[in-house]
Chain A
Amino acid sequence: MAKSPEDRHPVKAFGWAATDPSGDLSPFKFSRRETGDEDVRFKVLYCWICHTDLHSIKNDWGNSTYPLLPGHEIVGEVTEVGGKVTKVKVGDKVGVGGLVGTCHSCENCLNDLEIYCPKLILTYNSIHTDGTITYGGYSDHMVANQRYIVRFPDNLRLAAGAPLLCAGITVYSPLKYFGLAEAGKHVGVVGLGGLGHVAVKFAKAFGAKVIVISTSPSKMKEALEHLGADSFLASRDPQQMQAAMGTLDGIIDTVSAVHPLLPLLSLLKSNGKLIMVGAPEKPLELPIFPLLMGRKTVAGSMGGGMKETQEMIDFAAKHNITADIEVISMDYVNTAMERLDKADVRYRFVIDIGNTLAATKP
């Protein structure tokens, strides 16, 4: 007889989960495993809301299993460590991002690129090695193998640092891998949302010249004055786009809605790279001539390995980079999801789990 989520594991846990594709979240009792030798157990203080959470609770990608407990940018304070844990100790501030398990033996795992492991276990909505579903960070505590734990430096504010565990690494990794993290490079960022605003901050910290490309002219002031972007292109203005042709070394495209690639390819210099980090559901139209005529590439990138995630957090702490957030209480989460769907947030919601989850327990 299948065990209920409350009985599957020995340690009781509580969080909010969706029970069907309506995506409505509500209080949910479940359980987590005991702290194994290599495990780190921590009390969750904050969890960021990622657009992926919204796609998952509504089963937009067709791969959701219910009850679905989202949350993969989680920070908290260590309460227990297993006997073989060397990385952190009780009381440390830590985080967990999008992954909690990999095979540890394939080429990707051995090269610190666990995110590309074919046996990747995601922080939520994934099957763990024991056959149970993983539950994410909209919950009171987490337990994860130390390999997937990131240490938070003391000077990085927890609430505003949480989003870096997904948004941060998602843009940091391709900026480095594709050679755009260098002084003097001219980098475009398409979309000024959760990913986009963090991309601007990192690219500026690397010394790049940053141009924000957006469909919303209303975001120009914010981009230039608050985020420090060097310039702003309204992508629906043909004259502006024309004037910027052939000027960019690379573009980080954070937009997940279907959108035309040709105007973006035109902005690239020869050998320029258009890097997709948003995930459109449908294929996009790829014009081939511009790729050939300029030896341009279109690439994808998804998060980063654990080593690089730690490096990114340390870099963010050094350069005072955090996400711009709106802190909400647990019971506001469904309203937050509705607002996220309309991109009505500057720029990410963070759930104050530590102070507001317990009060919602029935």
Chain B
Amino acid sequence: MGEISEQVNQKNALGWAARDTSGLLSPFTFSRRATGEKDVTFKVMYCGICHSDLHMLKNEWGVSTYPLVPGHEVVGVVTEVGSKVEKFKVGDKVGVGCMVGSCRSCDNCANNIENYCRNYILTYGAKYYDGTITYGGYSDVMVVDEHFVVRIPEKLPLDATAPLLCAGITVYSPLRFYGLDKPGMHVGVVGLGGLGHVAVKFAKAMGVKVTVISTSPNKKKESIEHLGVDSFLVSRDQDEMQAAMDTMDGIIDTVSAPHPLLPLIGLLKSNGKLVLVGAPEKPLELPVFPLLLGRKMVGGSNIGGMKETQEMLDFAAKHNITAEIELIPMDYVNTAMERLLKADVRYRFVIDIANTLKSSS
């Protein structure tokens, strides 16, 4: 299938790809399409490593095709624009997140929630309109339809902004949609990783009181002193959890490993909302009585639409919000994946593509 892609496309590209379910990445040359009339072509400067990349590399969701070039937190500088492109010009700093296409005609697309379009096209590992497989941002160049490109505000540093394109929008969108963004509200964040730490930053900027709920007591000092969290709950400490029952307007749950929902539902006030943004592979147990007794709800959320992604970046610029990152060279990526599996990162790896991709190959 990879070979068919290369015949149809016209731009030489270099990236790192996995060839099989071992997920091990190595240099990979391929082609990208010529810049179409609505396309924006940009030189990739940085790409964030999302936990989804790890799931996809190992085909844990059963949908991966190989070779797989991951990367959906991509930032760079525009080098070429198509003749009908209106929003961008050469030299602009831009980004691409998890989507590069959608049907553009359904109700969801018409309402700026392309992320809920039945036919949305993922940035990597998906079939594009022209039949080719999409390749992501662990590569030197991207060609993307203007509609799915966002502008990176001038004042935001590119490397630490890259993770906002997935992690950022993934937590920003439900804070807004589920109404957990009102000053004075109390919101819990479960898990202090890539998603969790950005959720804390956004929620604090919205004027919300934030409690982090984590299995790792050693994250407490950092979260309070450095991230400005208001309080910290060790989820395995029953006394702490009990004392916090019935105190939260909402919870953003970023954990994708299987975990019990009952204690989290207990933390919610009446009408409280538990929002899942992590994606456990297997179903979780849902106790129904606690939902009834407090008119509580469990909802999901998946990234955000393009309009909201731009809004999120503008909000981040206004409040000086970026991710906490560890910048790595391309050839460190397999080690980074091993460390990510053990959650050994504070809090997102970002690959320094522009400076290290070519030399690693």
Contact = CB atoms under 8 A, between A and B. Distances in A.
Given A270-B116, A288-B280, A295-B177, A261 B286 contact: yes
Interface residues of B, number: 37
Interface in B249-302: 261-262, 269-271, 273, 276-277, 279-280, 283-302
B209 to A, nearest CB: 16
A226 B288 CA distance: 31
A276 B291 CA distance: 8
A285 B286 contact: yes
A108 interface: yes
Given A108-B270, A297-B297, A279 B276 contact: no
A285 B285 contact: yes
B5 interface: no
A301 B288 CA distance: 10
A302 B293 contact: yes
Contacts of A298: 286, 291, 297-299
Interface in B127-153: none
Contacts of B295: 113, 116, 177, 299-302
A116 B273 CA distance: 15
Nearest to B260: A283
B288 A276 contact: yes
B26 interface: no
A261 B298 CA distance: 13
A6 B269 CA distance: 40
A288 B276 contact: yes
Query: For the complex, would chain B's binding face be called helix, strand, loop or mixed by DSSP majority?
Result: mixed
Contact of A284 (B116, B286, B300): B286
B195 to A, nearest CB: 13
B294 A286 contact: no
A4 B292 CA distance: 34
Contacts of A198: none
Contact of B279 (A278, A284, A292): A292
Contacts of A277: 292
A243 interface: no
B277 A286 contact: no
Contacts of B64: none
Given A280-B288, A288-B283, A300 B299 contact: no
Contact of A288 (B118, B292, B300): B300
Nearest to A290: B300
Given A283-B287, A285-B283, A293 B292 contact: no
Interface string A279-322: 11001111111111111111111100000000000000000000
B108 interface: yes
B300 A300 contact: no
Contacts of B280: 288
B113 interface: yes
A292 B302 CA distance: 5
A299 B299 CA distance: 8
Given A292-B279, A295-B116, A300-B291, A286 B270 contact: no
Contacts of B293: 116, 300, 302
A301 B289 CA distance: 9
The listed residue with most B CB atoms (<10 A of its CB), out of A116, A118, A287, A300, is A300
Q: Which of B246, B277, B280, B300 has the largest count of A CB atoms less than 10 A from its CB? A: B300
Contacts of A283: 262, 285-288
Nearest to B246: A118
A23 B175 CA distance: 48
Given A298-B297, A300-B290, A113 B270 contact: yes
13 contacts: A116-B293, A246-B118, A261-B286, A270-B113, A276-B288, A285-B285, A288-B279, A291-B299, A292-B276, A293-B116, A295-B301, A298-B291, A300-B296
Interface of B: 107-108, 113, 116, 118, 177, 246, 261-262, 269-271, 273, 276-277, 279-280, 283-302
Given A116-B293, A288-B280, 6 more contacts: A108-B270, A285-B284, A286-B283, A286-B284, A288-B279, A294-B300
Query: 5 closest pairs, A vs B, by CB?
Result: A300-B291, A291-B300, A299-B297, A297-B299, A300-B292
